[in-house]
């Protein structure tokens, strides 16, 4: 007599997806914490000059003495990558905050005022969005001498457009809520309603946009520095490290390009993982649909 086939157990997919999402969030949070600790603690604790040149140790492959190898003038690549990540994170964070403030102010003002003001502001946003960010950033950076602050200004002035659209859409949605009608019926002015009710209601979405903008700004800075238009070549940033390692890559020395690229990719993935969890919390309907 043939053995009876074991019954199949129904395993809900939602539980597996929740555990996978929790693992992704923990991994992203741990990676972000490790990056922050490295950026904050390594420069003051390690008493080494990241600009020190040692031509006798140029282009050494990864080893115990130099885990990431050395560059074309003998500088330790691990230390240079940490200093470069420090500069790129500074550019990304400051530019993201400035761009978010500009975008939130413009989007909230356009939606709160409405009428021809809204149409005019959004047409300006559409016109600026039609220009490639990198091309506009190159034009802005070319007006100044190479440095950190011209890159921050360039990235901030080219990345507030998407935030303005998001904030405008959220404000238009909030304007139809009953509590806004109650505030207007109670005699609240348009300015008071915007400051007390509309802007606080869009801050979570604006904060999420700022978090997602940080890696975007880091890539933008790296692109400008790779083209030689961002930071000076002697100042370590992830873009300048990739740019200086390009010549060594053609000669078969892969480490001066690989490790700065990884230092650029890993923060992007970590921040994207945390931002995805934040987005799911802001939109419970989307989270419930993903569990089906």
Confirm if 138 and 227 have CB atoms less than 8 A apart: yes
The pLDDT value given to residue 187: 73
Q: Which pLDDT belongs to residue 290? A: 35
**Whether the predicted pLDDT of 89 surpasses 60:** yes
CB atoms closer than 10 angstroms to residue 17: 14
Q: Above 50 in pLDDT, residue 199?
A: yes
Whether 248 has a pLDDT exceeding 90, the answer reads no
Residue pLDDT, tens place only, 32-76: 888 888 888 887 777 666 677 777 778 888 888 888 888 888 888
In this predicted structure, the answer to whether residue 239 has a pLDDT above a threshold of 90 is: no
In this predicted model, what pLDDT tens digit does every residue of 100-112 receive, in sequence order? 999 999 998 888 8
Q: What would the mean pLDDT of 227-231 be, rounded to a whole number?
A: 78
CB atoms within 10 A of CB 255: 21
The overall average pLDDT reported for the chain is 81
Instruction: Give 22 or 223, the one with higher predicted confidence.
Output: 223
Percent of the chain with pLDDT over 70: 89
Q: Note the pLDDT of residue 97.
A: 93
Q: Is the pLDDT of residue 94 over 90?
A: yes
* More reliable by pLDDT, 233 or 142: 142
pLDDT value, residue 292: 35
Instruction: Check if the beta carbon of residue 218 is closer than 8 Å to that of residue 264.
Output: yes
Neighbours of 189 (CB within 10 A): 10
What pLDDT, on the 0 to 100 scale, is given for residue 17? 64
Q: Rounded to an integer, what is the distance from CA 11 to the centroid of its chain?
A: 37
Mean pLDDT of 240-256: 82
**Cα 95 vs. chain centroid, distance in angstroms?**
10
More confident residue, 276 or 98: 98
- Per residue in 112-123, pLDDT (tens digit) is 888 888 899 999
- The size of the chain, in residues, is 292
- Token duo for residue 77: 């690549």
Q: Give residue 102's pLDDT.
A: 93
Q: Find the mean pLDDT for residues 13-32.
A: 75
Bridge partners of residue 70, in order along the sequence: 76
Q: How far apart are CA 184 and CA 219, in angstroms?
A: 44
pLDDT of residue 204: 85
Cβ-Cβ contacts under 8 Å for 197 (sequence gap 6 or more): 174, 179, 180, 183
What pLDDT is recorded for position 14?
53
8 Å CB contact between 146 and 231: yes
Asked if pLDDT for residue 283 goes beyond 70, the answer is: no
Give the tens place of pLDDT for each residue, 166-194: 888 888 888 778 777 777 777 777 777 77
Average pLDDT (64-93) is 87
Model pLDDT, residue 7: 52
Classify burial at 5, counting beta carbons within 10 Å of its beta carbon; exposed 0-12, middle 13-18, buried 19 or more: exposed
- pLDDT value of position 101: 92
């Amino acid at each position: 007599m043939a053995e009876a086939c074991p019954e199949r157990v129904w395993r809900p997919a939602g539980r597996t997806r929740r555990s996978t999402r929790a693992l992704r969030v923990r991994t992203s949070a741990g990676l972000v914490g490790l990056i922050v600790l490295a950026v904050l603690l390594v420069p003051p604790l390690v008493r080494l000059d990241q600009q020190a040149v040692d031509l006798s140790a140029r282009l050494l492959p990864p080893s115990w003495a130099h885990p990431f190898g050395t560059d074309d003038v003998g500088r330790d690549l691990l230390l240079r990558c940490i200093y470069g990540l420090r500069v790129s994170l500074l550019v990304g964070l400051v530019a993201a905050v400035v761009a978010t403030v500009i975008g939130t102010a413009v989007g909230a003002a356009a939606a709160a005022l409405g009428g021809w003001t809204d149409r005019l502001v959004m047409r300006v946003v559409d016109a600026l969005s039609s220009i490639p960010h990198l091309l506009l950033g190159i034009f802005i950076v070319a007006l100044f001498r190479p440095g950190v602050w011209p890159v921050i200004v360039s990235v901030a002035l080219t990345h507030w457009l998407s935030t303005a659209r998001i904030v405008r859409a959220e404000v238009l949605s909030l304007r139809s809520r009953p509590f806004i009608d109650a505030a207007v019926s109670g005699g609240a002015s348009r300015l008071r309603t915007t400051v007390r009710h509309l802007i606080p209601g869009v801050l979570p979405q604006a904060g999420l946009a700022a978090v997602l903008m940080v890696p975007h700004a880091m890539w933008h800075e790296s692109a400008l520095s790779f083209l030689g238009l961002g930071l000076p070549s002697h100042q370590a940033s992830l873009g300048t490290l990739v740019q200086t390692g390009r010549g060594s890559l053609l000669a078969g020395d892969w480490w001066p390009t690989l490790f700065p690229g990884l230092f650029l990719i890993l923060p992007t993935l970590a921040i994207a993982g945390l931002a995805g969890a934040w987005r799911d919390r802001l939109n419970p309907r989307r989270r419930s649909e993903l569990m089906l």
